[in-house]
């Protein structure tokens, strides 16, 4: 059932026209028959080289919907669309394009048109667009923009990727602390067009232009005109430095329920702001990274082709193969034992599979807690102990069941003891390794989500195989 509605309507439409057009646009934005039909119509219009129809179909769409429609069209149609109406599209569409479509725009559109479009964007969206261009394209496009815009973009690009400096926009509203409500509102009315498109807070600055507070626009509007900003402002819970990692910024937004946060320069002067819509994007990206990293995929998208998919997964599988082979050499050391008892060959993989899973469970909890800053140097010892005991208890529970099954199956208490023992040992090791490996990687400044699972699987497999064979070897002697 479709329950989130899209009511995009033409700005000056009649009530009756509004109904039908809004229904249409809502259905186009969601997957289904209507969208399929809409896309087929666009492909037709592009095939006919019919700019009037293309304009009528694409221009009323929300920029996000327009970009998502473009991403589903065949390359030939997109090329035609860019050629005929590329310069008429809302510049916001440029901020929403996927990688392949963006490259087509850069290839086909005249550099001057591209420059006009990005100059029209908020500076954070412009940076996001420009940072994906290669050196040469970037220089060409920026050469066609105003010197002030170029300086801003180059300033932002001087910060590392995934930092606050890349996320912030240079457009914000600030007022001195001694202004009152009336003066502030009058000033904003007078400045008009030069204000950012949308803003939610006004930063209050001291004479050195350092931010000392913020006033929500909704509070400003209903306060008496003679009230001073200093009396009205809220304290700033967060002031961001541009080199801050975007993940840390996102955590502050989450903790303090922020809508925007000021960014300052080295001297502490207000230099930009970060808004919550960018943070929503960051949260999504960082979480995707963590999840895929845990499963050993370096980067992925549904638009990837087979070659890209292979490239992002094969390296991890090769490492995995190497580790599995190292483990096999351990098993081969006991080849005499295996020939002797088939039970060992049958039961051995069970132990290591379970140990690997127990390790991954701890790992997922630890990686998440590290990302959320819930796992700190203060509480890490407590968590390590908890994982140790959790591993022991889970090991005893699973070990008892496994030992019982193994004993009944092969009618041997020796096999049962080896089976149960290996589970307990491997689970304790899995718990400790699952927490200590990500903690150690974090301390060495590596991303714990990326590298941990390799180590953890290696160690739990190795312990699983060798403990089983060692116990059996001594018991059977």
Question: CA triplet 331, 333, 334: central angle to 5 degrees?
Answer: 70
Tokens of 384: 């390590």
Q: Which 3 state secondary structure label does DSSP give 444?
A: coil
Nearer to a copy of itself (CB atom), residue 101 or residue 360:
360
Nearer to a copy of itself (CB atom), residue 138 or residue 442:
442
Report if residue 183 touches a copy of itself, rule: CB under 8 A: no
Report if residue 296 touches a copy of itself, rule: CB under 8 A: yes
* CB 157, min distance to a copy of itself, A: 19
Question: CB of 261 within 8 A of CB of 249?
Answer: yes
Of 78-86, 100-108, 144-152, 329-337, the window that binds a copy of itself (rule: CB under 8 A) is 329-337
Give backbone dihedrals phi and psi of 211, rounded to 5 degrees, phi first.
Answer: -70, 130
Tokens of 81: 């669309």
40: left (phi over 0), alpha (psi -120 to 50) or beta: alpha
* CB 182, min distance to a copy of itself, A: 12
User: Pick from 437, 361, 354: which is nearest to 395 by CA?
Assistant: 354
Q: Which of 134, 207, 222, 226 binds a copy of itself (CB under 8 A)?
A: 222
Q: Which 3 state secondary structure label does DSSP give 305?
A: coil
**Rounded Cα gap, residues 48 and 37, in angstroms:** 16
User: Pick from 93, 47, 45: which is nearest to 70 by CA?
Assistant: 93
Report if residue 208 touches a copy of itself, rule: CB under 8 A: no
Q: Which of 75, 99, 131, 339 binds a copy of itself (CB under 8 A)?
A: 339
Nearer to a copy of itself (CB atom), residue 51 or residue 349:
349
**Rounded Cα gap, residues 452 and 443, in angstroms:** 13
Question: CB of 449 within 8 A of CB of 367?
Answer: yes
Of 113-121, 148-156, 250-258, 440-448, the window that binds a copy of itself (rule: CB under 8 A) is 250-258
Question: CA triplet 95, 101, 102: central angle to 5 degrees?
Answer: 45
Task: Name which of residues 358 to 397 contact a copy of itself (CB under 8 A).
Answer: 358, 360-361, 363-365, 367-369, 372-379, 383, 386-387, 389-390, 393-394, 397
Report if residue 53 touches a copy of itself, rule: CB under 8 A: no
Helix (H) or strand (E) holding 51: helix 51-58
Binding mask 400-439 for a copy of itself (x = CB under 8 A): -xx--x----------------------------------
Task: Name which of residues 440 to 469 contact a copy of itself (CB under 8 A).
Answer: 457, 461, 465
Q: Which of 53, 111, 144, 320 binds a copy of itself (CB under 8 A)?
A: 320
Task: Name which of residues 260 to 289 contact a copy of itself (CB under 8 A).
Answer: 276-277, 279-281, 283-284, 287-288
Size of the site for a copy of itself (CB under 8 A): 136
Q: Which 3 state secondary structure label does DSSP give 268?
A: coil
Tokens 């312990």 correspond to: 463
Nearer to a copy of itself (CB atom), residue 41 or residue 379:
379
Q: Which of 347, 450, 459, 472 binds a copy of itself (CB under 8 A)?
A: 347
């Amino acid at each position: 059932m479709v329950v989130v509605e899209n009511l995009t309507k033409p700005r000056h439409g009649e009530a009756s026209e509004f109904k039908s057009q809004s229904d249409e646009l809502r259905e186009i934005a969601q997957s289904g028959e209507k969208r399929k039909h809409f896309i087929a119509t666009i492909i037709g219009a592009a095939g006919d080289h019919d700019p009037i129809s293309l304009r009528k179909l694409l221009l009323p769409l929300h920029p996000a919907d327009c970009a998502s429609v473009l991403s589903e069209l065949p390359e030939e149609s997109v090329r035609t669309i860019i050629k005929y109406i590329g310069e008429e599209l809302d510049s916001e569409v440029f901020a929403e394009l996927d990688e392949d479509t963006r490259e087509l725009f850069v290839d086909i559109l005249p550099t001057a048109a591209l420059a006009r479009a990005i100059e029209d964007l908020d500076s954070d969206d412009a940076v996001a667009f420009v940072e994906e261009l290669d050196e040469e394209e970037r220089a060409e496009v920026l050469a066609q923009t105003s010197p002030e815009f170029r300086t801003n973009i180059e300033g932002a690009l001087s910060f590392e990727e995934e930092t606050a400096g890349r996320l912030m926009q240079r457009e914000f509203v600030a007022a001195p602390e001694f202004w009152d409500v009336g003066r502030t509102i009058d000033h904003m009315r007078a400045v008009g067009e030069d204000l950012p498109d949308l803003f939610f807070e006004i930063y209050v600055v001291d004479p050195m232009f350092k931010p000392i507070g913020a006033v929500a626009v909704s509070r400003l509007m209903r306060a008496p005109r003679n009230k001073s900003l200093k009396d009205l402002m809220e304290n700033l819970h967060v002031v961001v430095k541009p080199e801050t990692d975007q993940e840390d910024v996102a955590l502050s937004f989450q903790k303090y329920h922020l809508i925007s946060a000021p960014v300052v320069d080295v001297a502490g002067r207000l230099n930009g702001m970060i808004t919550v819509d960018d943070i929503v994007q960051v949260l999504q990206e960082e979480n995707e990274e963590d999840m895929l990293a845990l499963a050993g995929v370096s980067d992925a998208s549904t638009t990837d082709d087979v070659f890209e998919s292979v490239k992002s997964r094969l390296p991890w599988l090769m490492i995995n193969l190497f580790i599995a082979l190292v483990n096999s050499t351990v098993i081969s050391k006991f080849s005499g034992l295996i020939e002797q008892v088939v039970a060992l060959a049958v039961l051995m993989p069970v132990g290591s599979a379970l140990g690997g899973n127990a390790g991954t469970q701890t790992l997922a909890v630890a990686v998440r807690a590290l990302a959320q800053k819930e796992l700190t140097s203060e509480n890490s010892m407590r968590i390590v102990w908890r994982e140790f005991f959790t591993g022991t208890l889970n090991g005893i529970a699973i070990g008892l069941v496994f030992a019982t099954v193994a004993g009944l199956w092969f009618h041997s208490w020796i096999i049962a003891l080896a089976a149960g023992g290996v589970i307990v040992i491997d689970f304790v090791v899995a718990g400790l390794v699952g927490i200590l490996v990500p903690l150690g990687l974090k301390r060495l400044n590596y991303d714990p989500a990326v590298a941990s699972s390799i180590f953890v699987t290696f160690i739990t497999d190795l312990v699983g195989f060798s403990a089983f064979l060692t116990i059996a070897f001594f018991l059977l002697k």
